[in-house]
Amino acid sequence: MEAAPIFFGNPTAHAHFAAKYREFLREWVELQEAVKLVMLNRTISPPDMTPFESLPDDDALVVAAEDRFKADLSSFILARTAVDDFSELLTLASNGYGIGALKTLRGMYERIVTSAYVALYPEVSRALIDSTWTHQWKVWRRATALRPALATTVDENEIEMLRERAEAAKARHNESFCKNCGQLVEVHAWTKVDLDTMAQKVDSRLAGPELNLARLADFYLRCYLQPTALAHATGTSVNEKFEKVDGQWTYKMDSSAELRQSLIFGHTLLLSLLAHQNRHFNYGLEHVLFPRNAALRRVWNLPPPDEAAVSQ
């Protein structure tokens, strides 16, 4: 017996999306070329540490060089992942899943803000990268609590190394070096800086139409706060998904408003991401990005940047 074909997707939703968002799809062809130029096939080279060979590992110059490398690598990887987020958003939106697209927008926004923040403040890159070890140690402890026998399947030296790295990472979270005097100083831990504050700090140094950069903090409400409530089991996520039909309450299928919101803000954030990466790494692609910014306003009928920001 021939197996039934498996297809995931909604052809009816595809057709509706193509008809309603024809102008965006035309622009998407051009926008993909800009994404390729800024983000594809890029590499981050490790720093030349030869000038610092005679210095101890904890010397301020050594730490600064390592921080810059970690910051560049983290900023790029976060931004590159956000590009994939937008592709996932489009997949959901084109199949009619507006709330799903909006929930994807949340992660995209978080990565874009963090990418820009780390690039501007490289000293926090250690806490970001180090969080890998603390997370892996938490996972290991949780796994062995559920299945104690797992501890016998891994070399004790590897377990001890993981524990030491996690403890060292935790200790380093509150360390940094003063750029003026080179002395060790206390700073905030990575997780103590909320996303809204990160966005505001980035905006205070970079935002402005002349740089082709939207104010990231202006999008916190619609791109993070609202989608976060929808992504979790909250009262908001319940209230947004029921409606009254013929006197009876039922599941609300229509998410066209959320779909449009995710497209407009996702498109805007993608351009901001490209502008931040272009500026940080000095790619010199302003001539490629500026026309795409103008197209954004044309496609979604948005006001010029000197008149108003994207409506919230």
Written in H, E and C, the secondary structure of 119-187 is HHCHHHHHHHHHHHHHHHHHHHHHHHHHCHHHHHCCCHHHHHHHHHHHHHHHHHCCEEECCCCCCEEEC
SS3 198: helix
pLDDT at 186: 43
Q: Is residue 310 part of a domain?
A: no
pLDDT at 1: 64
pLDDT at 240: 87
Per-residue pLDDT of 134-168, as tens digits, reads 889 899 899 988 998 888 898 888 989 989 888 88
pLDDT at 2: 72
| 181 — pLDDT class (breaks 50, 70, 90) | very low
Q: Is residue 51 part of a domain?
A: no
pLDDT at 205: 85
Q: If you average pLDDT over residues 268-283, what whole number do you get?
A: 95
Q: Is residue 36 part of a domain?
A: yes
Share of residues in the chain with pLDDT > 90 (%): 58
Per-residue pLDDT of 198-216, as tens digits, reads 999 999 887 555 555 678 9
> How many domains is the chain partitioned into structurally?
1
Average pLDDT over the chain, rounded to an integer: 87
User: Which tokens go with 79?
Assistant: 């931004």
Per-residue pLDDT of 16-71, as tens digits, reads 999 999 999 999 999 999 999 999 999 999 998 988 889 988 888 988 899 999 99
pLDDT at 212: 55
pLDDT greater at residue 119 or residue 127: 119
pLDDT greater at residue 237 or residue 5: 237
- Measured CA to CA, the distance from residue 266 to residue 293 in angstroms comes to 13
- Measured CA to CA, the distance from residue 66 to residue 248 in angstroms comes to 61
pLDDT at 129: 84
- Measured CA to CA, the distance from residue 164 to residue 11 in angstroms comes to 53
Q: Is residue 247 part of a domain?
A: no
- Measured CA to CA, the distance from residue 105 to residue 101 in angstroms comes to 6
DSSP 250: E
Count of all residues that appear for the chain in the document: 312
- Measured CA to CA, the distance from residue 209 to residue 256 in angstroms comes to 30
- Measured CA to CA, the distance from residue 288 to residue 269 in angstroms comes to 16
Residue 99 pLDDT more than 50? yes
pLDDT greater at residue 146 or residue 183: 146
Buried/exposed code over 98-114 (b: 16+ C-beta within 10 A; e: otherwise): bbbbbbbbbbbbbbbbb
Q: If you average pLDDT over residues 80-93, what whole number do you get?
A: 98
Q: Is residue 3 part of a domain?
A: no
Rounded alpha-carbon distances, angstroms, from residue 148 to 87, 153, 167 = 41, 10, 22
Q: Which domain holds residue 289?
A: 11-42+56-242+253-300
- Measured CA to CA, the distance from residue 195 to residue 132 in angstroms comes to 19
pLDDT greater at residue 183 or residue 275: 275
Q: If you average pLDDT over residues 274-285, what whole number do you get?
A: 95
Q: Which amino acid is it at 293?
A: N
Query: Can you say how many angstroms the Cα of residue 46 is from the centroid of all Cα atoms in its chain?
Result: 23
Q: If you average pLDDT over residues 128-134, what whole number do you get?
A: 84
Residue 180 pLDDT more than 50? no
pLDDT at 169: 81
Backbone dihedral region for residue 311 (phi beyond 0: left; psi -120 to 50: alpha; all else: beta):
beta
Backbone angles phi, psi at 106, to 5 degrees: -55, -50
